[in-house]
């Protein structure tokens, strides 16, 4: 029973918690944060150039890269934080009980530093960088889905801002996204 629960809540490739485990943890952390007036940071991370590496060198090399990224992410955060793999090259870092947004920026900087060192897989020296979107509870959303969605939106802005950086969510990001979607629908 315990093994089945573990399999249901963890990614088989990396051993990290999966989306289900992340959502369960958010459901625990946010009410506690609301009660104690804590801030919680949600960082949505996507690897730059991962698709090129995966398509060029094969899925085995891509899988090894993902395993190493998972290890580096887990080694970068506190024991009370959560690193989850949502799938593909998407990861989420949950930072409960932070003092302010600066704490999240410091962790994002550490993650960028941890991933700046090349990963060697089968004699291939791989270089990948993260694009990180950050949203803060309760400022950027009152529930887990909203905070997660807003961190994802901020991550796309990090990618468009040149990759290998982090961006905090701002409300005007959703306005730009909504306007672009409206234009696409009209086209």
* Catalytic-role residue among 46, 48, 81, 89: 89
According to DSSP, the residues that pair with 167 across neighbouring strands are 133
Spatial separation of the C-alpha atoms in residues 52 and 166, rounded to whole Å: 21
124, 57 in Cβ contact below 8 A? yes
Instruction: Examine the residue annotation and report whether 89 is marked as an active-site residue of this protein.
Output: yes
Active site residues: 89
């Amino acid at each position: 029973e315990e093994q089945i629960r573990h399999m249901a809540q963890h990614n088989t490739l990396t051993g990290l918690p999966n989306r289900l485990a992340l959502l369960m943890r958010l459901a625990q952390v946010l009410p506690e944060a609301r009660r104690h007036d804590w801030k919680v940071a949600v960082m949505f991370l996507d690897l730059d150039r991962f698709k090129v590496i995966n398509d060029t060198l094969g899925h085995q090399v891509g899988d090894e890269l993902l395993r190493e990224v998972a290890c580096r992410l887990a080694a970068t955060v506190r024991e009370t934080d959560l690193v989850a793999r949502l799938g593909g090259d998407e990861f989420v870092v949950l930072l409960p009980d932070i003092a302010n947004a600066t704490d999240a920026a410091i962790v994002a900087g550490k993650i960028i530093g941890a991933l700046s060192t090349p990963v060697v897989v089968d004699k291939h020296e791989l270089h990948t960088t993260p694009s990180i979107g950050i949203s803060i509870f309760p400022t950027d959303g009152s529930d887990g889905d909203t905070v997660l969605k807003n961190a994802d939106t901020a991550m796309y802005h990090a990618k468009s801002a040149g990759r290998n950086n982090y961006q905090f969510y701002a409300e005007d990001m959703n306005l730009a996204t909504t306007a672009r979607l409206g234009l696409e629908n009209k086209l």
